[in-house]
Amino acid sequence: MTTSPLPALPLHSDTHETEAPDGGEDQAQRAAELAALHRAADAGEAAATWVRELASRQGEEDHGQLLERVAEAIVQASSREIIPGSFGLLTEELRYTLAADVVLGASHTTGTLPELHPGERMPLIAVCAIAATFPSCVLGDLTRELEVLAAELEAATDAGRAAAEPATG
């Protein structure tokens, strides 16, 4: 298991005597990177909360347990798996858990599909797909890519929540 870069990254950088004259630019870049990491983690937590809500509605325990695992995988992929300097790859287990077939739930054991409102399946697929891409941002422009993906994750989560509103409201 990998560890989160969030605790390892400083909330502010101390200036060192050996720092280059352009150290302010490096500090600004690190601060922007840290803010993007936190935004990704927050978006992942919000998405996971929504997926846990889906899990709590399941009549079949197997579907609920699978969605709970998906929620944890979203949290992990959007935070602890984003490791600057790494190869940006998810573990096989996380890739499998976040695969699009999550909308089928545990249908292979239950013979049924998860109980989802119309319009929730596509946002669920989107949330999983977006979460799975977060770690690969370390291979490019981490700050910019995390900001874009966090915004898309937030939008997919909002769409999923909105799909349930007519059914519950």
CA triple 52-55-60, angle to 5 deg: 165
What per-residue confidence (pLDDT) applies to 12? 38
What per-residue confidence (pLDDT) applies to 15? 40
The Cα-based distances of 79 to 11, 19, 60, 160 in angstroms read: 16, 29, 29, 21
Predicted TM-score (pTM) of this structure:
0.83
Task: Retrieve residue 119's tokens.
Answer: 């319009």
- Ranges of residues in the chain whose predicted pLDDT is under 50: 1-20
What per-residue confidence (pLDDT) applies to 167? 55
What per-residue confidence (pLDDT) applies to 2? 46
What per-residue confidence (pLDDT) applies to 18? 44
Domain ranges of the chain: 25-168
CA triple 54-145-93, angle to 5 deg: 50
Per residue in 5-28, pLDDT (tens digit) is 444 444 333 444 444 456 688 999
